[in-house]
Structure 1
């Protein structure tokens, strides 16, 4: 029986996920006996469609590419237009809600409400948003458990690189004593270019021109993006209810060419590191630029790549490296979460 999906938010990642389904659905069905059907797409700006039997994805992609919205999607028997996100989550026959809206990271909204509505209606949630996991992990986890549904969010930390699934699935049995990571590609790219001779302002302008940095780069350069990922890692991997105010947070905007040259003279390079260290008194957490020795695996992570090192008592340090952003990569994170739900049904 097909696993029915409702997409809340239909920007780049949502469209990338639909492209993945169009490309991989035959393989998933044939090799893994997994079938996904998108029954609803709801986007604040692009419009809303619901059809209990499923939408034609080829038609969805053609009208989005031609018109930029869903209004030109052809009429079909049973098609309903114009539902809000709440109506879609509450009234649709979807088994799982894919939450991909733009979320305010200071409040976690509207994605926190989307999760609550879904869980209360016995629907799983897969999301790529950091906000709800960082700010409301305990509340939402409890609500999901009470309603016997799953809540998965692999894409919230390192996009399609399985930073959460690795410790959960394959490092089981270890005590993880420390987590250190390069969790923001924008700042890692900028630091690489500063090492190559650019000053901070020039490196930022280049990152913006390449699409790595937003017009307002505050979340990246001040460390806030990494801060939320550190909160997720503490709550999910270490089981520790860390709060924002408990994390030291410094960005890269104060670093100068002099600092870069000093690091080089010590055989080190600067990286913006998110870190969690288990101590006798709890968790020590920080986001800050650090001088990393050249022989540290994190020193070799260049450009917009991400990496994370788990220090384990049995297996020793294990470093995972991969893309930390990207439409296809984040769409893949959604897919692996859905496959996980399907396998546990």
Structure 2
């Protein structure tokens, strides 16, 4: 994931020049075919992408809503093996920024993870998270791309509990594509590891279907 988020264009050029196959569906939302949807939207005028793409911060937010503080919630995520070895890869937005970078690269936008503005989840206090719930809102860690303004970011946002992105709980990811006069929403599970493995099998099957082309 990180390599694609940094060197997408160079890697794709290398693969294409040598007639190789590159499967990377699992890099974004793993068990939900977000990249397949993006490939199907090429040629459409997408104005906005909003997404919740990180299960760890979903879990941490849910624990804080129940009364834990950040330290306790992060330690719990580590115990449950939901966090990266370095949890700040998630909390400081590197993981969702990498995923957003790959999504935008797939649309042909020349971008790397370093072009995406990141705000740490911890810029929002525990009390603000719990206060939002009491008032009918939720705090979600949202990856957003405003394409016509070339503004790309990952930041905590207060949203209505009726917002489609509020459905992103635990391993569930939600992605909204705003295009022309309509909106396409894809919702589904990301991890855990067994789901990621199944998506890698999908890539392997695609390779086998196209294998003669790669053996020329």
TM-score, structure 2 length as denominator? 0.89
1:272 matched to which residue of 2? 141
Cα distance, 1:139 vs structure 2: 0.9
- Tell whether the 8 Å contact from 2:93 to 2:119 is kept in structure 1 after alignment: yes
Which of 148, 166, 170 is residue 19 of structure 2 equivalent to? 148
Task: Report matched runs for 1:216-235 at 5 Å.
Answer: 216-235=86-105
Cα distance, 1:222 vs structure 2: 1.0
- Tell whether the 8 Å contact from 1:271 to 1:290 is kept in structure 2 after alignment: yes
Deviations 1:220-245 (A, max 9, x none): 11111111111111111x21111333
Residues in 1 aligned to 2:111 and 2:44: alpha-carbon distance in whole angstroms: 21
Moved over 4 A (4+): none
Is 1:131 the counterpart of 2:131? The answer is no
Deviations 1:130-181 (A, max 9, x none): 0221111111111111122222200111112111012213x45532221111
What RMSD over aligned residues (CA atoms) do the two structures have, in Å?
Answer: 1.9
Residues in 2 aligned to 1:155 and 1:318: alpha-carbon distance in whole angstroms: 20
- Tell whether the 8 Å contact from 1:235 to 1:242 is kept in structure 2 after alignment: yes
- Tell whether the 8 Å contact from 2:7 to 2:112 is kept in structure 1 after alignment: no
- Tell whether the 8 Å contact from 2:116 to 2:152 is kept in structure 1 after alignment: yes
- Tell whether the 8 Å contact from 2:167 to 2:174 is kept in structure 1 after alignment: no
Cα distance, 1:342 vs structure 2: 3.0
Relative contact order higher in (CA < 8 Å, ≥ 6 apart): 2
Where structure 1 has 5 or more consecutive residues not aligned to the other structure, the ranges are 1-129
1:311 matched to which residue of 2? 178
1:252 matched to which residue of 2? 121
**Residues 190/239 of structure 1: CA separation in 2 closer, same or farther (3 Å cut):** same
2:203 matched to which residue of 1? 337
Give the helix-richer structure, 1 or 2. 2
**Residues 256/138 of structure 1: CA separation in 2 closer, same or farther (3 Å cut):** same
Residues in 2 aligned to 1:218 and 1:195: alpha-carbon distance in whole angstroms: 20
Is 1:294 the counterpart of 2:161? The answer is yes
Cα distance, 1:192 vs structure 2: 1.3
- Tell whether the 8 Å contact from 1:200 to 1:255 is kept in structure 2 after alignment: no
Cα distance, 1:264 vs structure 2: 2.8
1:55 matched to which residue of 2? none
- Tell whether the 8 Å contact from 1:199 to 1:256 is kept in structure 2 after alignment: no
Is 1:208 the counterpart of 2:78? The answer is yes
DSSP-derived class of the 2:51 partner? strand
Indicate the structure (1 or 2) with the bigger Cα radius of gyration: 1
Q: How many residues align?
A: 211
- Tell whether the 8 Å contact from 2:142 to 2:157 is kept in structure 1 after alignment: yes
Cα distance, 1:286 vs structure 2: 0.2
Residues in 1 aligned to 2:190 and 2:7: alpha-carbon distance in whole angstroms: 23
Cα distance, 1:266 vs structure 2: 4.3
Which of 87, 109, 112 is residue 240 of structure 1 equivalent to? 109
**Residues 215/309 of structure 1: CA separation in 2 closer, same or farther (3 Å cut):** same
Task: Report matched runs for 1:42-191 at 5 Å.
Answer: 130-169=1-40, 171-191=41-61
Residues in 2 aligned to 1:341 and 1:270: alpha-carbon distance in whole angstroms: 40
Greater shift in the superposed pair: 322-331 or 155-164: 322-331
- Tell whether the 8 Å contact from 2:171 to 2:192 is kept in structure 1 after alignment: no
DSSP-derived class of the 2:123 partner? coil
Where structure 2 has 5 or more consecutive residues not aligned to the other structure, the ranges are none
Cα distance, 1:265 vs structure 2: 4.8
Deviations 1:277-311 (A, max 9, x none): 111x5x21001101111111111221232221122
DSSP-derived class of the 2:74 partner? helix
